[in-house]
Structure 1
Amino acid sequence: MNVMKKLYQYALIYKKSFILALLMLAIAVSAELTGPFIAKTLIDNHILGIERSWVEVNASSKDAVQYQGHYYKRSDHLESGDAKGQEVRVLQVGRQFVFVHEAVQATGERTFTDGQLQIKSGNGELTTYAATKISVNELIGFYKPEMKGIFMLMGGYLALLVVACIFEYGRIYYLQTSANRVIQKMRMDVYNQIHRLPINYFDTLPAGKVVSRVTNDTEAVKDLFVNVLANFFSGTVYITGIFVALFLLDVRLAFVCLIIVPILILWIYVYRRFATQYNRIIRSKLSDINGLINESIQGMTVIRAFRRQKDTEQEFEEMNEQHYHYRTKMLNLNALTSHNLVNVLRSLALAVVIWYFGSRSFDIGGAISFGVIYAFVDYLGRMFQPIVGMVNQLAQLEQALVSAERVFELMDQPGTDVAEGTLDRYQGNVKFDDVSFAYKEEEYVLKNISFEAKQGQTVALVGHTGSGKSSILNVLFRFYDVQKGVITVDGINVQDIPKQLLRQHMAIVLQDPFLFTGTIASNVSLDDPSITREQVEKALRDVGAERILANLPKGFDEPVIEKGSTLSAGQRQLVSFARALAFNPAILILDEATANIDTETEAIIQSALDVVKKGRTTFIIAHRLSTIRSADQILVMHRGEIVEKGNHEELMQHKGRYYQMYQLQQGSSASGQEPAAPSVPSAKPSYVG
Structure 2
Amino acid sequence: MGTTGKRLFQYAMLYKGTILAALLLLVLAVCAELTGPLIAKRMIDDNILGIEKKWHQVQGEQLKAASYKGEWYKREDRFAPGEVKGREVRVLQVGRSYYFLNEPLRFEGGVREVSGERLTVTDSDADKRETYSVSKLSAKELFEFYAPEVPALLKLAAIYFGLLVLVALFAYGQRLMLQTSANRIVRRMRNDVYAQTQRLPVQYYDNLSAGQVVSRITNDTEAIRELYVGVLANFFTGTIYMVAIFGALFLLDAKLALITLPLIPILVLWIIVYRKFAAKYNRIIRTKLSEINGMINESIGGMTIIQAFRREKQTTEEFDELNDHYFKYQNKLLSLNSLTSHNLVNVVRNVLFLIVVWMFWGGTLGTLVTVGALYAYIDYMNRMFAPIVGIVNQLSNLEVARVSAERVFKLMDEEGTDVETGSIARYKGDVQFHDVSFAYKKDDYVLRNISFHASQGETVALVGHTGSGKSSILNLLFRFYDIKEGRITIDGMDASGMPKQMLREHMGIVLQDPFLFTGTIASNVSLDNPNISRKKVEQALRDVGAYDMFSKLPGGIDAPVIEKGSTLSAGQRQLISFARALAYDPAILILDEATASIDTETEAIIQRALDVLKRGRTTFVIAHRLSTIRAADQILVLDRGVIVERGNHDTLMEKQGKYYAMYQLQQGAVQPA
Question: What's the TM-score once normalised by structure 2's chain length?
Answer: 0.98
Counterpart in 2 of 1:434? 435
| Residue aligned with 1:450, SS | strand
Report if aligned partners of 2:476, 2:482 keep a CA contact under 8 Å in 1. yes
Counterpart in 2 of 1:54? 55
Over residues 356-375 of structure 1, what are the superposed CA-to-partner deviations in whole Å (9 max), with x where a residue is unaligned?
21223898xx3221110100
Q: Give the stretch that moved more between structures: 36-45 or 339-348.
A: 339-348
Counterpart in 1 of 2:137? 134
**Please, which of 341, 345, 349 is the counterpart of residue 348 of structure 2?**
345
Instruction: Provide the C-alpha distance between the structure 1 equivalents of 2:112 and 2:50, rounded to a whole number of angstroms.
Output: 17
Report if aligned partners of 1:543, 1:612 keep a CA contact under 8 Å in 2. no
Counterpart in 2 of 1:112? 114
Instruction: Provide the C-alpha distance between the structure 1 equivalents of 2:254 and 2:63, rounded to a whole number of angstroms.
Output: 39
Counterpart in 1 of 2:261? 258
Report if aligned partners of 2:112, 2:119 keep a CA contact under 8 Å in 1. yes
Q: Give the stretch that moved more between structures: 51-60 or 624-633.
A: 51-60
| Shift in Å, 1:621 | 0.3
Instruction: Provide the C-alpha distance between the structure 1 equivalents of 2:614 and 2:350, rounded to a whole number of angstroms.
Output: 83
| Residue aligned with 1:317, SS | helix
Report if aligned partners of 1:108, 1:361 keep a CA contact under 8 Å in 2. no
| Shift in Å, 1:17 | 0.8
Please list, as runs of the form range in 1=range in 2, the aligned pairs for 1:161-310 lying within 5 A after superposition.
161-310=164-313
Over residues 306-363 of structure 1, what are the superposed CA-to-partner deviations in whole Å (9 max), with x where a residue is unaligned?
1111111111111111111111111111122222321221122112211221223898
Counterpart in 2 of 1:400? 401
| Residue aligned with 2:64, SS | coil
Please list, as runs of the form range in 1=range in 2, the aligned pairs for 1:32-43 lying within 5 A after superposition.
32-43=33-44
Say yes or no: does 1:154 pair with 2:152: no
| Shift in Å, 1:114 | 2.3
| Shift in Å, 1:242 | 1.1
Counterpart in 2 of 1:687? none
Say yes or no: does 1:77 pair with 2:78: yes
Over residues 503-542 of structure 1, what are the superposed CA-to-partner deviations in whole Å (9 max), with x where a residue is unaligned?
0111100001000000000000000011111111111111
Q: Give the stretch that moved more between structures: 238-247 or 57-66.
A: 57-66
Counterpart in 1 of 2:460? 459
| Shift in Å, 1:669 | 2.2
Instruction: Provide the C-alpha distance between the structure 2 equivalents of 1:615 and 1:248, rounded to a whole number of angstroms.
Output: 88
| Residue aligned with 1:619, SS | strand
| Shift in Å, 1:421 | 1.0
Counterpart in 2 of 1:679? none
Counterpart in 1 of 2:526? 525
Using a 3 Å threshold, how does the CA distance of structure 1 residues 227 and 362 change in structure 2: closer, same or farther? Answer: closer
Report if aligned partners of 1:589, 1:619 keep a CA contact under 8 Å in 2. yes
| Residue aligned with 1:27, SS | helix
Instruction: Provide the C-alpha distance between the structure 1 equivalents of 2:519 and 2:420, rounded to a whole number of angstroms.
Output: 27
Instruction: Provide the C-alpha distance between the structure 2 equivalents of 1:367 and 1:460, rounded to a whole number of angstroms.
Output: 99
| Shift in Å, 1:501 | 0.7
Over residues 468-514 of structure 1, what are the superposed CA-to-partner deviations in whole Å (9 max), with x where a residue is unaligned?
00000001000000010010111111111110111011110000100
Instruction: Provide the C-alpha distance between the structure 2 equivalents of 1:548 and 1:605, rounded to a whole number of angstroms.
Output: 13
Instruction: Provide the C-alpha distance between the structure 2 equivalents of 1:574 and 1:70, rounded to a whole number of angstroms.
Output: 109
Say yes or no: does 1:591 pair with 2:592: yes
Q: Give the stretch that moved more between structures: 369-378 or 72-81.
A: 72-81
| Shift in Å, 1:615 | 1.5
Percent identity among equivalent residues?
60
Report if aligned partners of 2:359, 2:365 keep a CA contact under 8 Å in 1. no
Report if aligned partners of 1:470, 1:621 keep a CA contact under 8 Å in 2. yes
Question: What's the TM-score once normalised by structure 1's chain length?
Answer: 0.96
Q: Give the stretch that moved more between structures: 319-328 or 479-488.
A: 319-328
Report if aligned partners of 2:57, 2:88 keep a CA contact under 8 Å in 1. yes
Please list, as runs of the form range in 1=range in 2, the aligned pairs for 1:462-541 lying within 5 A after superposition.
462-541=463-542
| Residue aligned with 1:482, SS | coil
AA of the residue aligned to 2:475 = N
Instruction: Provide the C-alpha distance between the structure 1 equivalents of 2:496 and 2:670, rounded to a whole number of angstroms.
Output: 47
| Shift in Å, 1:122 | 3.6
Please list, as runs of the form range in 1=range in 2, the aligned pairs for 1:371-386 lying within 5 A after superposition.
371-386=372-387
Over residues 363-420 of structure 1, what are the superposed CA-to-partner deviations in whole Å (9 max), with x where a residue is unaligned?
8xx3221110100111111111111111111111111111111111111111111012
| Shift in Å, 1:550 | 3.0
Report if aligned partners of 2:92, 2:99 keep a CA contact under 8 Å in 1. yes
Instruction: Provide the C-alpha distance between the structure 2 equivalents of 1:438 and 1:81, rounded to a whole number of angstroms.
Output: 102
| Residue aligned with 2:401, SS | helix
Instruction: Provide the C-alpha distance between the structure 2 equivalents of 1:230 and 1:83, rounded to a whole number of angstroms.
Output: 57
AA of the residue aligned to 1:416 = T
| Residue aligned with 1:590, SS | strand
| Shift in Å, 1:627 | 0.5
Instruction: Provide the C-alpha distance between the structure 2 equivalents of 1:481 and 1:96, rounded to a whole number of angstroms.
Output: 95
AA of the residue aligned to 2:450 = I
Report if aligned partners of 2:468, 2:638 keep a CA contact under 8 Å in 1. yes
Instruction: Provide the C-alpha distance between the structure 2 equivalents of 1:382 and 1:109, rounded to a whole number of angstroms.
Output: 34
| Shift in Å, 1:636 | 0.5
Instruction: Provide the C-alpha distance between the structure 2 equivalents of 1:361 and 1:178, rounded to a whole number of angstroms.
Output: 50
Counterpart in 2 of 1:64? 65
Counterpart in 1 of 2:424? 423
| Residue aligned with 1:487, SS | strand
Instruction: Provide the C-alpha distance between the structure 1 equivalents of 2:267 and 2:202, rounded to a whole number of angstroms.
Output: 47
AA of the residue aligned to 1:185 = R
AA of the residue aligned to 1:434 = D
Aligned length: 670
AA of the residue aligned to 2:585 = N
AA of the residue aligned to 2:493 = I
Please list, as runs of the form range in 1=range in 2, the aligned pairs for 1:595-634 lying within 5 A after superposition.
595-634=596-635
Instruction: Provide the C-alpha distance between the structure 2 equivalents of 1:611 and 1:58, rounded to a whole number of angstroms.
Output: 121
- Give ranges in structure 2 of 5+ residues lacking alignment: none
Please list, as runs of the form range in 1=range in 2, the aligned pairs for 1:550-561 lying within 5 A after superposition.
550-561=551-562
Instruction: Provide the C-alpha distance between the structure 1 equivalents of 2:241 and 2:364, rounded to a whole number of angstroms.
Output: 31
| Shift in Å, 1:304 | 1.2
Report if aligned partners of 1:25, 1:167 keep a CA contact under 8 Å in 2. yes
Instruction: Provide the C-alpha distance between the structure 1 equivalents of 2:558 and 2:365, rounded to a whole number of angstroms.
Output: 86
Q: Give the stretch that moved more between structures: 338-347 or 215-224.
A: 338-347
AA of the residue aligned to 2:79 = L
| Shift in Å, 1:80 | 4.7
Over residues 19-63 of structure 1, what are the superposed CA-to-partner deviations in whole Å (9 max), with x where a residue is unaligned?
001000000000001100000001111111111101111115333
Instruction: Provide the C-alpha distance between the structure 2 equivalents of 1:558 and 1:249, rounded to a whole number of angstroms.
Output: 75
Instruction: Provide the C-alpha distance between the structure 1 equivalents of 2:311 and 2:378, rounded to a whole number of angstroms.
Output: 65
Superposed CA RMSD: 1.3
Report if aligned partners of 1:58, 1:82 keep a CA contact under 8 Å in 2. no
Using a 3 Å threshold, how does the CA distance of structure 1 residues 666 and 600 change in structure 2: closer, same or farther? Answer: same
| Residue aligned with 1:410, SS | helix
AA of the residue aligned to 1:498 = P
Report if aligned partners of 1:53, 1:89 keep a CA contact under 8 Å in 2. yes
AA of the residue aligned to 1:265 = V
Report if aligned partners of 1:362, 1:370 keep a CA contact under 8 Å in 2. no
Instruction: Provide the C-alpha distance between the structure 1 equivalents of 2:115 and 2:613, rounded to a whole number of angstroms.
Output: 116
AA of the residue aligned to 2:197 = I
| Residue aligned with 1:567, SS | coil
Q: Give the stretch that moved more between structures: 21-30 or 61-70.
A: 61-70
Instruction: Provide the C-alpha distance between the structure 2 equivalents of 1:485 and 1:93, rounded to a whole number of angstroms.
Output: 104
| Shift in Å, 1:184 | 0.6
| Shift in Å, 1:281 | 0.8
| Shift in Å, 1:592 | 0.3
Report if aligned partners of 2:253, 2:369 keep a CA contact under 8 Å in 1. no
